[in-house]
Structure 1
């Protein structure tokens, strides 16, 4: 009987699962269309058997630009099923492409119903590449998911020997190994060999126990992102409103402002009953609550990136449309 901790591994595809033309193919490897399923990835990384009793779970092997709400909903259900089927499960690892990894991680951190550690992992180089980071990233993620210290910290992201909070982490480089960073606050901890070490925790609330239940939803309310730039005239904002957006996130100029014509369009949208959240394209820092925003009923995004503000706003709109209540949600999660 195994004395190793039991960890489920769900494979959703991504670079971690990709097989390129040869070992030097580290850029155009998706052209082959070859991606491994969960059990095939584990077979390529036999070292995983030394750190955990891994339960491979097939999902679907795709590139992460193809992952969105329907997958988040399925993953919430799947994690729930795994926890029920394996009472001795120590944690769950989800292999994921890096393009949307931070969005899936944050969505799950707000909607999961299990209190097990859930860790998302990816890689910058395909599993077939010379000096691929896929294998060691996977081992580190399994160790993190199995560690008792990982409980109660929300969804975690592990790459490059670093443990990041789902709410705070973002991808900052196309190809560099140290791409995932938490600009304002830094890592939660590190994985050094067999040692999983934590140095801080994220203070914002997370699942389980949030009011956001997506298990039976057909879709999330439509929320779009309008990217600000010099001379932006509100065309995108008005197009999103015409398309039926129930919410709009403004990726504004730092510190959370937009050109006058864009600001006018956002105010019009808010007056028409569309929930408007002001974020910033800067990548870090808090959008302050100002008289200007409050006068139009626009909610500041705190320090969430636009893509994460979109997720929180869409989830928030499943429970309220009141601007004050939305502001409280953004101050809580």
Structure 2
């Protein structure tokens, strides 16, 4: 008996139709994106691995996706699990530009017991050798898998099963763009079976302390990118704009220029929570004596964009530096 999987489409390259099979670059200019049911109709093979039901949402270019859409998706997942008895899992189609951020936000805030897999593609649905169809088939296979339960939101592209916390987009156009630099894949969606190799140890949805279902907004958290000669202008602008938290994407392994350091200390004095990350894309920021004396919280190995999400969620619960440090060590 085939398992039942819900498919939510939010747009993106996986939903896009270009001018023809060789249009792999300018397809976005046409603004033509399939709804979820249209994607399933274009790739009917997906019904061979599960009974896949399309759920209506709206197509949103992924650079426009943020808190409001994350909240919508959390609520929609609640709704479909409550209204669809026997549902085995959920797949969410998404543009790759911000896919890793949505996946991480969902991995911290979903409250459903079934697996949720976020999937995208590097080539539009209309392209020659598009990866959209096979990525979707494999995402459905993962969502229907018992092994996927309790792993938070997962990401599936290029036959690779990735944890939302670690995965990041590393190339603009290559098929192997999504990587987990420090720890690697969870497994592979191979032709014969799903081959699993590890499980994440950090705390994951649905067993988290964050609940965004009734929030009006997340606290403002900005990212200040360190570079040679950075003089703190960006930090001061974010503080003036009302940032409650600032993530500094510092030099590896977590250093900042004197100008940024001064501005970040000024921000702290005004009650802004500062988290120190790194622009390197891999490796931990260590909780050094110098960092502690500055009053900054180490982001561990979270990328700046993911540290921003976790800090914003933490600020919905507390402003205590010790508690926020605990949260960064837990998730």
Please classify the TM superposition score into its range, dividing by the shorter chain length.
over 0.9
1:1-333 equivalences in 2 (<5 Å)? 3-333=1-331
1:158 CA displacement: 0.2
1:62 CA displacement: 2.0
Task: Give structure 1 stretches of 5+ with no counterpart.
Answer: none
Equivalent residues, number: 331
Query: Secondary structure of 1:80's match?
Result: helix
Q: Which runs of 4+ in 1 moved over 6 A?
A: none
TM-score by length of 1: 0.99
1:272 CA displacement: 1.5
CA RMSD of aligned residues (A): 0.7
Distance in 2 of aligned mates of 1:22 and 1:226: 40
Task: Give structure 2 stretches of 5+ with no counterpart.
Answer: none
1:16 CA displacement: 0.1
1:36-76 deviations in Å (ceiling 9; x for gaps): 00000000001011011011011111210111100000100
Distance in 2 of aligned mates of 1:115 and 1:302: 28
Distance in 1 of aligned mates of 2:324 and 2:137: 39
Query: Secondary structure of 1:59's match?
Result: coil
Query: Secondary structure of 2:203's match?
Result: coil
1:207 CA displacement: 1.0
Query: In 2 relative to 1, CA 6–194 (structure 1 residues): closer, same or farther, beyond 3 Å?
Result: farther
1:194 CA displacement: 4.5
Query: Secondary structure of 2:206's match?
Result: coil
Distance in 1 of aligned mates of 2:276 and 2:35: 40
The answer to whether the 8 A contact 2:70-2:105 is kept is yes
1:251-274 deviations in Å (ceiling 9; x for gaps): 000010101111111111112110
Distance in 2 of aligned mates of 1:105 and 1:98: 11
Deviates more, 1:54-63 or 1:87-96: 54-63
Distance in 1 of aligned mates of 2:41 and 2:122: 20
